[in-house]
Amino acid sequence: MASEKFERADGELSDVEIRLECLRLATEFGPEYERKDPTQKAEEYFNWVKQVSKRKLCECKTSKKRSLIADLKRKD
């Protein structure tokens, strides 16, 4: 596949690749009136993706307890 030669070692996509994918989604799945000029919808998708990707995963207390229990079981 053509995209294989552009894959980075860390597996992350560049902003250009993300923008192109957002444009593809806007033209492929958008309503007919937005397909004529999909750049605004693609920009909305891109901003949403970048906003979501900046969030950090929360570490709740239950997951810490589970990892401690798993560590204790491994020691036995």
pTM higher than the cut 0.85: no
Reported as a single tens digit per residue, the pLDDT across 27-53 is 999 888 888 889 999 999 999 988 877
The residue type of 67 is S
- Asked if 20 and 2 touch (Cβ cutoff 8 Å), the reply is no
Query: What pLDDT was estimated at residue 33?
Result: 87
- Asked if 21 and 48 touch (Cβ cutoff 8 Å), the reply is no
DSSP H helix total and E strand total for the chain: 4, 0
| Ranges of each domain in the chain | 2-75
